[in-house]
Amino acid sequence: MKKLSIKAILSIVLVLVFLALAFTGALLYFGKTGVVLGVSRHVLRQVHFWVAASMCTLVPVHLLLNLRTLRTELRTLRDNKRDEFGIDERKTDGK
User: What predicted TM-score, i.e. pTM, was given to this entire model?
Assistant: 0.70
In the 8-state DSSP scheme, what is residue 51? H
Burial category of 79 from C-beta neighbours within 10 Å (exposed 0-12, middle 13-18, buried 19 and up): exposed
Determine the pLDDT at residue 52. 97
Determine the pLDDT at residue 51. 97
Characterise 33 by phi-psi region: left (phi > 0), alpha (psi -120 to 50), beta (else).
beta
User: pLDDT, tens digit, for every residue of 36-94?
Assistant: 788 888 899 999 999 999 999 999 999 998 899 889 988 888 887 666 666 665 555 55
Determine the pLDDT at residue 53. 97
